[in-house]
Amino acid sequence: MTYPRARRALGASMLVVASAALLLSCSAGTGTAPSASAPPARAVRTPAPVPTTEEPAAPDTAAPSPGPEKVRDAFAELQATYHDGCTTPGNCAYFLGRVRDNLDGLDAAMKADPQGPAHFERPLAWIAGLRRELGDDRSFENLKKHQDRLTGVRDEINAWMQGHPEDYR
């Protein structure tokens, strides 16, 4: 009398095992290697490319130039130098070079701004005067010699920009 129960239990067990095997085989990712006994996967057919008479355009290998920064972004970088300074000799060289680079970036942004360079006449004049004093010498010794002038121009521009909030918001 227990024989039909055993057959049902065995049949149910086989069904569970077969379902689990099917579930595992269907959910296996493409990163798993097929077993040697697995049937070959069906090939996916893709249409052959149609020949054209036109030559394809040569790809543009030159990266697009991002152009100058916006005035508000360049000004924000310059303002960030207020949290830095000449605390150590190595940091001093970095700091002064950074102020110089940020002033150059702000100069380019102001000249490229849609309002035109005439709108930024005073800050551009301060930067031009600083450039005349510094010359082409970007050495630490030259920047250190003109440290007060570098930070002074930064401070003048900061004060001017505070009076023109529409230029950096």
Q: What is the pLDDT of residues 71-123, one digit of tens each?
A: 999 999 999 999 889 988 789 999 999 999 999 999 999 999 999 899 999 99
User: Do the beta carbons of residue 122 and residue 160 sit within 8 Å?
Assistant: yes
37 burial (CB, 10 Å; 0-12 / 13-18 / 19+) is: exposed
Confidence of residue 6 (pLDDT cuts 50, 70, 90): low
What's residue 90's pLDDT?
82
Q: Is the pLDDT of residue 132 over 90?
A: yes
What's residue 30's pLDDT?
53
What's residue 109's pLDDT?
94
Closest CA to 67 of 108, 12, 128, 107: 108
3-state secondary structure of 105: helix
Mean pLDDT of all residues belonging to the chain: 77
Q: What is the pLDDT of residues 9-37, one digit of tens each?
A: 556 565 555 555 555 555 555 555 555 55
Distance CA 5, CA 123 (A): 95
3-state secondary structure of 142: helix
Confidence of residue 167 (pLDDT cuts 50, 70, 90): confident
CA 19 to chain centre: 48
Which residue would you say has higher pLDDT here, 7 or 141?
Answer: 141
What is the helix (H) or strand (E) element at residue 167, kind and residue range? none
Residues in the chain: 169
